[in-house]
A = this chain, B = another copy of it.
């Protein structure tokens, strides 16, 4: 029998967790069981949820803490259609509202997975597009773009591009607007990218923010691609995972999609409620086909605990899934001094993503990009950043002075 699974953490001071697990397994599938006549049970058996595991954690005598159980339940695939809304409603629809419960992990059956082509590019595809295979990628974020006209936008784009970054992404709060509509924006920025490429010798992906009504997103994406867009940014959680799934599955959407985590904080930070960051920004983003996934880094101001970052990373790159990997993009508060630490945590399959850490560089945006390029090169050669900075890399030196050195 094919099942998807869900693992929850249930908190309760005195509940019989085994009984509670059984009631979820029955209640979220066939509804009732013990009352069913024997003949009916036989025909319903294939629809019945099964409790796979109940791990009870009792608080220790001298360490008070909370009483909880990690519970895994199998949900027969036959009960739901092969889309993310159906799975989420099945495993967490009603019970999300039933006391202290957090959804911490999902398991996908092969049959369920068969409906998900996954990321179209993934880590290797993005590396192929950029022709970069031996180091972390570098992404720069537009800063304060609301209210900019096209010339100002082009100017900011060019300064980022000349710094030698691999990817530039729109601000996620840049919506369709009269000053810089997506088609025009893509056209202008890609032209600026080409000009910069002739100087830097580097390829560049520009992720344009896909916004508007749900039904218009595909045509918006295709218009942007026609205008030359070579990547897209998408606020997945404000639209739903199925929208990303449909975008990423569309053969005419021929560019990588970067998933932004906007609104994720409405789900993951509570200990007792919601959906864990690794499900939300790891498992479901990759399942839905995100090529790159942004999430709050543990390094800066908007922080997530390091172990949650590592759990997201694991889901994005695990080879347990029959689909391409997604590139992790830990974001917020990133400056060049953090590059070696990021590479210790993520290896080289990571995007170093900076906004303030590039635009706020004491020597300007272009130098900000260069400082990161230098930091990545130093880390790649296992050189100390401070030493590399002294060896004729003034941009890195200024960055280390401004934000602090290697950690």
Name A's B-contacting residues (CB within 8 A).
28-32, 43-44, 46-47, 79-81, 83-86, 88-90, 92-98, 100-101, 103, 143-147, 171-173, 175-177, 211-215, 218, 235, 238-240, 242-243, 245-246, 260-267, 269-270, 272-275, 296, 301-302, 304
**CB < 8 Å: which of B29, B81, B97, B267 contacts A175?**
B81
Q: A30-B147, A266-B275 are in contact. List 18 more A-B contacts (CB 8 A).
A: A28-B173, A29-B146, A31-B145, A47-B146, A80-B175, A85-B211, A85-B235, A88-B238, A88-B263, A89-B238, A93-B238, A93-B263, A97-B261, A97-B296, A100-B269, A266-B274, A269-B272, A269-B273
Sample (6) of A-B pairs whose CB atoms are under 8 Å apart = A31-B143, A81-B212, A86-B211, A92-B263, A266-B267, A270-B273
**CB < 8 Å: which of B146, B214, B267 contacts A267?**
B267
- Pairwise interchain contact B235-A144, C-beta atoms closer than 8 A: no
A302 CB contacts on chain B under 8 angstroms: 94, 97-98
Chain B residue nearest to A152 in the complex (CB): B40
**CB < 8 Å: which of B93, B175, B218 contacts A173?**
B93
A84 CB contacts on chain B under 8 angstroms: 238
**CB < 8 Å: which of B43, B246, B304 contacts A215?**
B246
Chain B residue nearest to A49 in the complex (CB): B146
- Pairwise interchain contact B240-A214, C-beta atoms closer than 8 A: yes
A32 CB contacts on chain B under 8 angstroms: 143-144
Chain B residue nearest to A97 in the complex (CB): B265
- Pairwise interchain contact A172-B93, C-beta atoms closer than 8 A: yes
Lowest 6 CB-CB distances: which A-B pairs, in order?
Answer: A31-B144, A96-B265, A93-B262, A97-B265, A85-B238, A270-B270
- Pairwise interchain contact B143-A103, C-beta atoms closer than 8 A: no
A332 nearest CB across to chain B (Å): 8
A177 CB contacts on chain B under 8 angstroms: 81
Chain B residue nearest to A238 in the complex (CB): B85
A162 nearest CB across to chain B (Å): 21
A247 nearest CB across to chain B (Å): 10
A329 nearest CB across to chain B (Å): 14
- Pairwise interchain contact B214-A242, C-beta atoms closer than 8 A: yes
A156 nearest CB across to chain B (Å): 11
- Pairwise interchain contact B97-A269, C-beta atoms closer than 8 A: yes
A270 in contact with B274 given A31-B146, A89-B235, A238-B89 (CB within 8 Å): yes
A239 in contact with B238 given A80-B173, A98-B265, A272-B270 (CB within 8 Å): no
A214 CB contacts on chain B under 8 angstroms: 85, 214, 240, 242-243, 246
A101→B262 CA distance, assembly (Å): 14
Find the residue from A94, A177, A270, A302 having the highest chain B CB count within 10 A.
Answer: A94
